[in-house]
Amino acid sequence: QVQLLQSGPGLVKPSQTLSLTCGISGDSVSSNRAAWNWIRQSPSRGLEWLGRTYYRSKWYNDYAVSVKGRITINPDTSKNQFSLHLNSVTLEDTAVYYCARGVVGATTNWFDPWGQGTLVTVSS
Amino acid sequence: QSVLTQPPSVSGAPGQRVTMSCTGSSSNIGAGYDVHWYQQLPGTAPKLLIYGNYIRPSGVPDRFSGSKSGTSASLAITGLQAEDEADYYCQSYDNSLSPNWVFGGGTKLTVL
């Protein structure tokens, strides 16, 4: 059974960097059949896919246009985890952040399981 | 505004059948991308309910079913139970801004 456990601060100051980590048990961050995603949820933006990292003989990253240039997702094979870094945050980045495993489907991925979620508030 | 459109709310009495829709466009559902559904109980993370339009993961009761046609998809719940009260989200892929996995705005199910 795959489980994802998130960690990281719940309060970030404007213009600083939001950093979260997602620990994986029951699967490998280096799996050739999965992708490791970050998704956020807020009342104003709903559920929003942010980006992913995945391994297919080498490492790849994909990022949503809405956060491209501010986001980095890194795998850590030694700890079997992956991280999210979102810089230059504003009040609009306040949301519940989830990590999720992307499962490869016939036409598109689905997300299963999800981490427990981390409420990140951007405030001075 | 979410890329996939869902009704904000639906309701039904225990034992009844309810359906909820997920409407997309030619760049997502209509382009042939599969639709997946999630259930989010209050204060918890979304949980996969249906994948590949109609496939139930192990452990999901057969009271839940999914379908897809054209640019829309539907989730049906039969034999409604109090514990089904939750938010339900559809998800697919949109090729207008690649890569881009997209979600509906969610439907709040109230069990009367």
The Cα of B101 is separated from the nearest Cα of chain A by a number of Å equal to 6
pLDDT for the residue A38: 98
Determine the pLDDT at residue A107: 83
**Digit-coded pLDDT (tens) for B73-99:** 999 999 999 999 999 999 999 999 878
Type of residue at A14:
P
Radius of gyration of chain B (CA): 13
Chain A environment of B106 (Cβ under 8 Å): 46-47
Q: For residue B48, is pLDDT > 80? A: yes
Please check whether residue A116 is in contact with residue B45, taking contact to mean a CB–CB distance below 8 angstroms.
Answer: yes
Query: For residue A35, is pLDDT > 80?
Result: yes
User: What average pLDDT does range A33-50 have in this prediction?
Assistant: 96
Looking at residue A105, its pLDDT comes to: 83
CA of A101: how far to CAs of A122, B4, B46, in Å? 26, 21, 12
Interface test with A, best of B4, B92, B101, B103 (most A CBs within 10 A): B101
DSSP A26-52: SS-TT-TTEEEEEEEEETTTEEEEEEE
Distance from CA of A110 to the nearest CA of B (A): 7
CA distance B84 to chain A (A): 19
Is the CB of B106 inside 8 Å of chain A's CB atoms? yes
Percent pLDDT > 90 in chain B is 95
Rounded to an integer, the average pLDDT of B24-33 is 96
Single-letter amino acid code for the residue at A88: S
Confidence of residue A104 (pLDDT cuts 50, 70, 90): confident
CB contact under 8 A, A111 and B34: no
Amino acid of residue A87: N
